[in-house]
Amino acid sequence: MNVCVKKVNENAILPHRATISSAGADLYACLDEDVVINPSERLLIPTGIAMAIPEGYGGFIFPRSGTASKYGISLSNCVGVVDSDYRGEIKIAIINHSNEAYTVKNGDRIAQMVIMAVDLCSYTQCDSLDETARGEGGFGSTGK
């Protein structure tokens, strides 16, 4: 599959896989100047790109594991979702979980995107649901 990517900022870097088998493609910060994210602070970081994700797919944005484990930098919304009909600039909601300020520079890899198929199902109101062994048990009901 080929995904059309448009630069909305001439300095943007297109998504890129670190290895041929990488599931996610790195997304890069597109900044005019460095941005400091203080402890517990959340910021929206532009990527300078927009894309045309094919219908029936979504772009799922995940944190980069190295940045999260080494520096405590993750996504504010855990996983971002880019819908196939969205054509605006992709921006990354980042949070600093560490006790130290973190600087994001232009061109830093800040997240990764995985394009995945989605089921465009519909929803119907029902008066009852089929019975299962689990039933309404949730939040630890299946054990530790």
Across 126-141, average pLDDT? 86
Q: How confident is the model at residue 119, as a pLDDT?
A: 94
Residue 49: in which H helix or E strand, if any?
strand 49-52
Which CATH number does 4-117 carry?
2.70.40.10
What the block records as the tokens of 78 is: 């855990």
State pLDDT tens for residues 93-125: 999 999 999 999 999 999 999 999 999 999 999
> What are the extents of the domains in the chain?
4-117
Alpha-carbon torsion (26, 27, 33, 39), positive or negative:
negative
Whether the predicted pLDDT of 52 surpasses 80:
yes
CA distance linking residue 95 with residue 136, whole number of Å: 34
Alpha-carbon torsion (129, 131, 132, 135), positive or negative:
positive
